[in-house]
Structure 1
Amino acid sequence: MTLKRLTLATALAPLLALTAPMTASADDFNVTIVAGHPPVFRWVRMMPEAFIPTVTAELTKLGHTVTFSEQYGGALAKVGDELEAVEAGLAEIGACSSLFDPAKLAVQNVTYYTPFVSSDVRLVGNVVNDLHANLPAMTEAYAENGVVYIGAPITIDDYLVMSNFPINSLADLQGRKIAAPGAAINWLSGTGAVGVAGNLTTYYNEIKTGVYNGVIVFASAALPGKLYEVAPHITRFGLGAQYSGSLCANKDWWDGLPAEVRTAFLAGSAAAQDWYTTDLENAVTGALAKMAEAGATVTEAPDDMRQAWADGMDNAAKKWATELDAQGKPASEILKTYMDAMRAAGAKPLRNWDQE
């Protein structure tokens, strides 16, 4: 190369460097993921079964690596404390439970104030996901607590009653202590039963020791929890499928991620939702059959008993919405939007909670 050409090349070098395509650097991401429940439950299993493998694969395509620290079963946070652990930065991602954190995720609990609407878990999950996408008040509830909604709605299959006594009429519930999770205690209004707060981690021992006589629960968790051993009378009332939480991420951490990395985590959430819902749908019928094989008695409540239960309930949804409206949270709008979407999709509620 002549001196003239060498001088020209040297002069152009900085300009060429500025105009050359940028190559993303490879990074290793360390992520702690938390759930209060143990991995025997499906909404925890969706993390190692679908979320983590998908995120890992997507980041690998980008030249990145990721290391997950999985903290389940109360190792880092108890049931209902996951959001606080993520908010504080103890974990980057968690199964944030609206059901057990109603003060912070109040508007997310709309389904638990509207029983007897639909047993379709996929429909409930899709509608709630759409609410988060289209109603700012839904995602604002997360932002107010330093976290971000990243999807994978945790839907719960049709709630039923499991008891240590047979239920042949609603009168059989009179004076009985029945445990229920979160806002589901409201479902017992008008039945004569005494509602007791509880969750899946305590149900078995507390029925066994006589703390209460039964629980409002769902088949897919009752089977692995072996509740049929202490509450062998299963009565299907069609209380409905519900939404109980989602994956959330620490907001500061999330905002600091490159866009392509956030996209990889969102792909993991979508994969987790599909895996969870499909696996749940396949499991429900089998769970009831296996409990029956183990000695449980499964009874389908007649339509008139179901309607009598629904008609006798307080309209907790209207009270819930009115109280939150007064706090500046548009719960009445969320209630109406949810019920309208469910009816439009073919659901036939036993009561139109938003129209009373």
Structure 2
Amino acid sequence: MNHITRLTAAAVMLASGGAAMAEEMTVTIVAGHPPVFRWVKHASQTFIPAVNEALEGTDHSITWSEQYGGSLAKVGEELEAVEEGLAEIGLVSSLFDPAKLAVQNVTYFTPFVISDSTVVSEWMDELQATDEVMRASWEANGLEYLGGAIGIDDYLLMTTFPVEDIADLDGRKIAAPGPAVNWLEGTGAVGVSGNLTTYYNEIKTGVYDGVIVFASAALPGKLHEVAPYITKVGFGAQYAGGLAANKDWFDGLDPVVQQALRDAAEADRVAYHADLDASVSTFLSMMEEQGATISEVDEAFRKEWADGMDNVAKLWAERLDAEGLKGTEVLKTYMDTMRAAGATPVRNWDQE
């Protein structure tokens, strides 16, 4: 709660002799990505309306300040903005905070596992709430995880050149988000860390020869205009973060408001993934209609790629174990859950 809200609430309490008080809050929500991307759009169109609806008829109301697209924090800076109280709530990209939210990045160290982003997001939201290691990493950074897992649809390879063989990648500069750079090991490509806000211009100017990206962001980002060769490699669906609140602020809220935020985050996840599932094939078709060439590799290609990588998942887990973060346990739980959900991983990272 900011100081203005506290003063307003205190005045109301004094006037009412300490009775239950009405509370009008101004809440800032932040995202580094612009609302052209689906997870930001749903923060505005699903999460906020759901909170407001839940608070109707209560003694609480919120006026929202929506700060997206780098207006308050750039991609990867959302955690710090919320932690420092510049915003009360953020779409926190764990993908771009691999040091502070290391265990949350388990999916990005286990490619070629499952393509169903809904399954991944549901399980990851549950894990944030039930796993002590996951919870502790949010709390260590002064955050309260609300939910609204950002599941990412099956990652693609988009390039300025056709890819028919892994050897075609030799010496090429390929950008990828955060830990996904590790997916390029063994291919001969030069992996470069990047994000959606810079991909278009970097490809257009020749800095990158391609990117690892997903269809639901590639079309809004117009990446097919500069990287028209789309190769469906089957890297898999991922978890990229979710909605989190400043913990001190959240802990000071009335339980009615706390529950409204959690319920709205769940509604956001459900709506976001329904929207996502309905759009992926459509977006691919639209990019093809606009001149992109789409191809899909066979299982032999996929296995060759996966087998050519170091076991980055095991190395990641062992590093976290050394830091007392139970990485091996998290890795095994994730892989077991995905297999139980029907996944047939190209490579069982936890069993090697």
Alignment TM class, shorter chain as reference = over 0.9
Report if the CA contact (8 A) 1:325-1:331 is conserved.
Answer: yes
Residue 246 of structure 1, aligned match among 242, 246, 264: 242
- Matched positions, count: 335
Shift of 1:238: 0.6
Superposition pairs of residues 181-192 of structure 1, within 5 angstroms? 181-192=177-188
Which of structures 1 and 2 has the bigger CA Rg? 1
Range that drifts further, 116-125 or 22-31:
22-31
CA distance in 2 between counterparts of 1:342 and 1:302 reads 22
SS across alignment from 2:149 = strand
> Unpaired runs of 5+ in structure 2?
1-17
Q: When the two structures are superposed, what TM-score results if normalisation uses the length of structure 1?
A: 0.93
* Structure 2: distance between partners of 1:81 and 1:209: 26
Which amino acid is 1:226 matched to?
Answer: K
C-alpha distance in 1 between matches for 2:146 and 2:20: 24
Other-structure match for 1:41: 37
Name the residue aligned to 1:201: 197
Distance 1:354 1:131 in 2: 18
Match of 1:122 in 2: 118
Summarize deviations over 1:229-281 as a string: whole Å, max 9, x none.
00000000110000000111001000000111100111110111011110000
Distance of 2:262 and 2:319 partners within structure 1 = 33
CA offset digits 1:197-222 (Å, max 9, x no partner) = 11000000000100010000000000
Report the Cα distance in structure 1 between the residues aligned to 2:143 and 2:120, rounded to whole angstroms: 23
Q: What code does the residue aligned with 2:271 have?
A: W
| Whole-Å separation in 2 of the counterparts to 1:47 and 1:220 | 16
Which residue identity does 2:293 align to in structure 1? Answer: T
Instruction: Pick one of 129, 134, 137 that aligns with 2:133.
Output: 137
CA separation in 1, counterparts of 2:293 and 2:57?
A: 51
Q: Which residue of 2 aligns with 1:237?
A: 233
Query: Which of 254, 259, 263 is the matching residue for 1:263?
Result: 259
User: Aligned to 1:328, which of 324, 347, 350?
Assistant: 324
2:282 corresponds to 1:286: yes
1:147·1:250 contact (CA, 8 Å) conserved in 2?
yes
User: What one-letter code is carried by the residue in structure 2 that aligns with 1:330?
Assistant: K
2:268 pairs, out of 268, 272, 282, with 272
CA apart distance, 1:46: 1.0
**Counterparts of 1:132 and 1:34 in 2: how far apart (Å)?**
20
1:187, distance to aligned residue in structure 2 (A)? 0.3
SS at match of 1:171: helix
Aligned to 1:4: none
In 2, the alpha carbon distance for the partners of 1:100 and 1:297 equals 30
Residue-by-residue CA offset, 1:85-128 (whole Å, 9 max, x unaligned):
00000000001111001110000000000000011011000111
Structure 1 residue 63: Cα displacement: 3.4
- Tell me the residue number matched to 2:211: 215
Whether 1:74 and 2:33 are equivalent positions in the alignment is no
SS at 2:95's partner residue?
coil
Task: List alignment gaps of at least 5 residues for structure 1.
Answer: 1-21
Aligned-residue Cα RMSD (Å) equals: 1.0
Residue equivalent to 1:26 = 22
Given residue 255 of structure 1, which amino acid in structure 2 is its aligned partner? D
Identity of aligned residues (%): 62
Are the equivalent residues in 2 in contact too, given 1:109–1:243 (CA < 8 A)? yes
Contact 1:155 1:241 in 2 (8 A): yes
How far is 1:23 from its partner? Answer: 6.9
Deviation at 1:65, TM superposition (A): 1.5
**Cα deviations by residue, 1:271-306 (Å, 9 ceiling, x for unpaired):** 110111100000100010000000000001111111
Contact 1:96 1:248 in 2 (8 A): yes
Letter in 1 for 2:163: I
Residue in 2 that maps onto 1:65: 61
Counterpart-to-counterpart distance in 1, 2:19 and 2:142 = 32
